Structure 1
Amino acid sequence: MLSFTFAVSVSLCSPSAHAYYRGAPDQSELDNHGTYINRDGETVHAPARSRSGHTPDGATAQCRDGTYSFSRHRSGTCSRHGGVASWQ
Structure 2
Amino acid sequence: MLRSGTCASAAAWLRLAAVGCILASSPFGAASREFREPDEHSLDRHGHYHSRDGSTVHQPAHTRDGSKPEGASARCRDDTWSFSHTHRGTCSRHGGVASWVR
- The 3 A distance-change label for structure 1 pair 48 and 24 is same
* RMSD over equivalenced CA pairs, Å: 2.0
Moved over 4 A (4+): 18-21
> Helix, strand or coil for the counterpart of 1:62?
strand
Structure with larger RCO (C-alpha < 8 A, sep 6+): 1
The sequence identity of aligned pairs, in percent, is: 55
Give the corresponding residue for 2:88.
75
Work out the CA distance in 1 between the residues paired with 2:70 and 2:36.
7
TM-score of the superposed pair, with normalisation by structure 2: 0.68
- Aligned amino acid, residue 97 of structure 2: V
TM-score of the superposed pair, with normalisation by structure 1: 0.78
Summarize deviations over 1:27-70 as a string: whole Å, max 9, x none.
01100100000011010000000112100000000000010000
Structure 1, unpaired ranges of 5+: 1-11
- Which is helix-richer, 1 or 2? 2
